[in-house]
Structure 1
């Protein structure tokens, strides 16, 4: 199960809406070994595409160095889908290289008739996709 604060949830959704119609992407870092998402790090979609996201390699390297210096790890890796449901594509699975991370997808397409976005979380390990429950809390 992914547990995150309302503030982080809102920031991820806001980033997805702001970058629409392009896909948004980013990371939420947390103290190494805790599994607790704390530090919101929106990234630039270097592909600037409505159907694909790509972290800028220099920005990603800088982020990993910064996380290493702060004894953090990527707890959440998120991106948005602008025209499809919030479910990992084959490309998403191929790029899922953090087996300990929660992969959050926000769909800004109204694909379920329940509102203007979906927020779902997955574990992706060795190509296997497992959806998990999301719990939003006021604070840790």
Structure 2
């Protein structure tokens, strides 16, 4: 199960809506080994595409160096789909190389960057095997939550 605080959930959704009609992408980092998604980092979609996302390699390298220095890891890796459901494409599955991460997809296909709900789903992707998991949004993360 993926557990997110409301502020992080809202920030991911806002990023997906803001970048629509292009796909948005980003990471939520957390303390190594904790599975606590605590630090939202919106990234640039270097592809600038409505059908594909690509992390900017220099931005991603800088983020990984920062995470290593802070004993963090990517807890959530997210991107948006602008015209299709929030389910990993074959390309998304091929790019999933963090077996411990939650892969979040946000579909903005229904309302774009206008007000209205989005489809927000999380998956574990390990060796090409996709498993959907529940998402729980809480007011704020605590040690026991």
Category of TM-score, reference length = shorter chain = over 0.9
Query: Structure 1 unaligned runs (5+)?
Result: none
TM-score w.r.t. the length of structure 2 is: 0.93
Tell me how far apart the structure 2 counterparts of residues 125 and 118 of structure 1 sit (CA, whole Å): 22
1:136 is the counterpart of 2:134? no
Q: How far did residue 117 of structure 1 move? A: 1.3
Which runs of 5 or more structure 2 residues have no equivalent in the other structure?
none
The Cα of 1:93 is off from its aligned counterpart by 0.2
2:71 match:
71
**Shift in Å at residue 116 of structure 1?**
3.8
Counterparts of 1:42-53 in structure 2, within 5 Å, are 42-53=42-53
Q: Which residue is 1:82 aligned to?
A: 82
TM-score (norm 1): 0.96
Show CA shifts across 1:16-53 (max 9, x none).
00000000000000000100000000000000000000
Is 1:34 matched up with 2:34? Answer: yes
Cα distance in 1, alignment partners of residues 76 and 52 from structure 2? 18
Q: How large is the Cα RMSD of the aligned pairs?
A: 1.0
State how 1:1-140 maps to structure 2 within 5 Å: 1-110=1-110, 116-140=117-141
| Residues 109, 116 of structure 1: 8 Å contact kept | no
* 3-state SS, counterpart of residue 83 of structure 1: coil
Matched residue SS, 1:104: strand
Task: Write the distance in 1 (CA, Å) between the matches of 2:117 and 2:131.
Answer: 24
